[in-house]
Amino acid sequence: MKIARMVAGFLLAVSLTSGSAMAGYLSGSDKTLSVTLLPGLVQTSSSTGQLTFALQEGVHDTLTDTTGAEVDHYYLWVEVNGQQVLAIDPIWVEY
């Protein structure tokens, strides 16, 4: 419960301090890895996927607001039994 409050506080702080929306997010470039695991036994929720997405977008917004630099990015989504359970912003370097 304490962790949930900390995460909620972080999300609130980021949303109040960020002025840009989805800095450089290229949703059309998203990739998805889908896995089916014992559908009758394994219960999943998309709330963790949305939480990891929101946290990473908050970081992007904070960096954009702080530095003025907008970084194009996309996500690798992990789906278990049809639910997005994890959003991963892959690190890439452009030369």
Q: pLDDT tens digits for the chain (95 residues)?
A: 566 555 455 444 444 444 444 458 888 889 999 999 887 888 888 888 999 999 999 988 998 899 888 888 899 999 998 899 999 988 765 54
What pTM value is reported for the model?
Answer: 0.65
d(CA 2, CA 13): 16
What pLDDT was estimated at residue 27?
Answer: 85
Give CA separation, 5 vs 10, 59, 80, in Å.
8, 18, 26
What pLDDT was estimated at residue 3?
Answer: 61
What pLDDT was estimated at residue 1?
Answer: 59
Burial of 67 (0-12, 13-18, 19+ CB in 10 A): exposed
Strand partners, 76: 31, 88
Tokens 């002025």 sit on residue: 19
Helix (H, G, I), strand (E, B) or coil at 39: coil
